[in-house]
Amino acid sequence: MMKTLTRLALAAFVATGAYAAPAAAEYPEKPITVIIGFPPGGNVDITLRHAQPFLEKYLGTSLVVVSKPGAAAALAYTELANSPPDGYTIAMTSLPGGLGTQFGTERRYDVDSFEWIANFTEEPFTFFVHPDSPLQTMEDMMEAARQDPGGISLAGSGSFGSPHLGLLVFQDLYDVEFTWVPMQGSAPMRTAVLGQHVDGGLTSVSVSAIMHVEGQVRVLGMMAPERWDLLPDVPTMAELGYPINWTASRGLKAPAGTPPEIIDKLAEASRKTMEDPEFLAILERERLLPKYLGPADYRKYVEEQNNMLKALWEKKPWR
């Protein structure tokens, strides 16, 4: 009888809320590591560095940025896919290049290897040359490539990453051939073009626009449906007779299986960052084009890009 009364008393004690299990630890309790698959100074790195203080403010913890370049970021994404899904290791990714590395090799990861947190920016790609280049226009470059297939060298970040895939699509559309010179990131690509070690380069507008405005390079054309008001003298490829839209996006992802409540916190901090007027002013200054997508929309966007690349691969494999 006494044991029964004791059990009933304890049950009543718990039911009244006088006793509760210890609360789960609040995330985040420690710094978060953010992996970047490119060297410092490139457009992916720059996007994250600008967002970092805002994300830290809204998350209430610090971010430790770790650069792990190699294989068009495939090494970094492989490491992320194999990291514990606890929210303390995430990555800044670049699309569509971060998906293109899946094709033609032994699969290290796929779309389902990650939780897609938020997209921050999306920028069209541009063709550009040294200001002293004899290739004064895009038509000059195209004519030179037609006269000497493979004779015009273009530098860009990685093999089978976003810029390389864009060039492959362009070559397929317009039956022309360039020689691709893969670089470890945007910074060494700039060095190659500025040193005139290559004939030109292909990169996103956030990288080429500032150099163009400062007279370090000449942008010949932009892979976008319309001109950009921050670079009004640069024509679109459609205006030049070569319509193609090809963009690079930058966003955050985490290992698959990361708890939804953690993804929600990371996405909320990302949303607040993208709504912060100070951050938006930085994006405009740096010629970075904002495009926020939350987890559901970002996942849909990723799947659309992956399906596009799959169709391209089936038509014309790039390896």
pLDDT at residue 71 tops 60 = yes
Same domain, 95 and 155: no
The whole-number pLDDT of residue 16 equals 41
Provide the token pair at 210.
Answer: 């500032």
**Would you state the torsion angle of the CA atoms of residues 245, 172, 186, 150, taken in this order, to the nearest 10 degrees?**
-140
The whole-number pLDDT of residue 11 equals 42
148, part of any domain? yes
Provide the token pair at 166.
Answer: 């864009």
The rounded distance, in Å, linking the Cα atoms of 118 and 250 is 9
pLDDT at residue 182 tops 50 = yes
pLDDT at residue 222 tops 60 = yes
Mean pLDDT of the chain, nearest integer = 88
The rounded distance, in Å, linking the Cα atoms of 55 and 62 is 8
- CATH classification of the domain holding 295: 3.40.190.150
The rounded distance, in Å, linking the Cα atoms of 270 and 183 is 30
Of the listed ranges 146-150, 295-299, 309-313, the one predicted with least confidence: 309-313
113, part of any domain? yes
The rounded distance, in Å, linking the Cα atoms of 261 and 266 is 9
Distance of CA 152 to the CA centre of its chain: 27
Same domain, 119 and 252: yes
pLDDT at residue 134 tops 60 = yes
The rounded distance, in Å, linking the Cα atoms of 278 and 77 is 30
Q: Per the structure, how many domains does the chain have? A: 2
48, part of any domain? yes
Same domain, 117 and 252: yes
pLDDT at residue 5 tops 60 = no
Provide the token pair at 22.
Answer: 């210890």
pLDDT at residue 131 tops 80 = yes
Same domain, 145 and 82: no
Q: Which amino acid is at 268?
A: E
Q: What is the pLDDT of residues 141-157, one digit of tens each?
A: 999 999 999 999 999 98
- Domain that includes residue 166, residue range: 124-222
The rounded distance, in Å, linking the Cα atoms of 277 and 4 is 63
Of the listed ranges 5-9, 188-192, 223-227, 295-299, the one predicted with least confidence: 5-9
Same domain, 119 and 130: no
More confident residue, 270 or 99: 270
Same domain, 253 and 119: yes
The rounded distance, in Å, linking the Cα atoms of 21 and 158 is 51
Same domain, 206 and 128: yes
Same domain, 216 and 128: yes
The reported pTM is 0.78
Question: Do you know the residue count of the chain?
Answer: 319
